[in-house]
Amino acid sequence: MTKRRPLVAGNWKMNGSRTESAALLDGIKKGISSTSKAEAAVCPPYVLIPLAAEKLAGSAVAWGGQNLSVHKSGAFTGEISGPMLKDYGCTYVIVGHSERRTLYGENDAMVTEKYGAAQAVGLIPILCVGETLQEREANQTEAVVARQLDAVLSKHGIASFKNAVIAYEPVWAIGTGKTATPQQAQDVHRFIRSRLATKDKTIAESTRILYGGSMKGSNAKELLAQADIDGGLIGGASLQADEFLTICHAAD
Ligand code: PEP
């Protein structure tokens, strides 16, 4: 079986001044060594990416964007492209976060395009999938996750997952303080992996599937102990260095 290196990625969302972010980056950098088993990454708002690049260059911590345009350049006011993120040393970019899907109308087709735009410039997309509370209560969790995954699979193929990360983020657990139980999360992670395995078992075994949704220092260990949970995508708890580092160390 292929060993999957855990990844803990912080999604800072729209938070942080330059001063606060500099302190946060210094704190995270101090706590992560190049010998850590788990990989750590931060995804700050666009304007703080140059600061992250400056602070984290040469460290074991990677950085990435929270979104990208499907276009490379041109008359797209307010947008940021994959080549721009790459130019600032980003390794990762989050695509299809539920806030993008629900607040900014990103549908499966748009997310799929963004996934391709990221890979086209050598960025690793962190593809977010997950169901709402209403969908869970209607027993549609697997159908929703399958639909979100299949959109990408049918356009970009299973081989594209060699250079991608998946984040299972139940929408009802994001920013709510409600975490999926380790078993609830594991069940969906297992389902995602088995769906990939129908196309290619080796790729399915090597694809990292992160859990996201109110993961914090106090619940990380139990979630990360699940067989198919390969790290976390962390919102609120990634804004405090000690909390984020506790999660990173739990993934080690
Ligand atoms: C997220 O936004 O990806 C997330 C998981 O947020 P939180 O950890 O705050 O629930």
User: In the chain, what are the domains?
Assistant: 27-251 (3.20.20.70)
CA of 167 to the centre of ligand 1 (A): 11
Instruction: With CA atoms as reference, report the closest residue to 79 among 117, 53, 116, 112.
Output: 117
| C-alpha 234 to ligand 1 mean position (Å) | 5
Q: Report whether residue 175 contacts ligand 1, using a CB cutoff of 6 Å.
A: yes
Q: Which amino acid appears at position 142 of this protein? A: E
| Chain centroid offset of residue 4 CA | 15
Measure the CA–CA gap between 30 and 124, rounded to whole angstroms.
25
Q: Is residue 169 annotated as part of the catalytic site, yes or no?
A: yes
Spatial distance between the Cα atoms of 45 and 67, rounded to a whole number of angstroms: 9
User: How does pLDDT run along the chain (252 residues), one tens digit per residue?
Assistant: 458 999 999 999 999 999 999 999 999 999 999 888 999 999 999 999 999 999 999 999 999 999 999 999 999 999 999 999 999 999 999 999 999 999 999 999 999 999 999 999 999 999 999 999 999 999 999 999 999 999 999 999 999 999 999 999 999 999 998 889 999 999 999 999 999 999 999 999 999 999 999 999 999 999 999 999 999 999 999 999 999 999 999 999
Burial class (CB in 10 A: 0-12, 13-18, 19+), 163: middle
- Give the integer Cα–Cα distance in Å for 176 and 137: 17
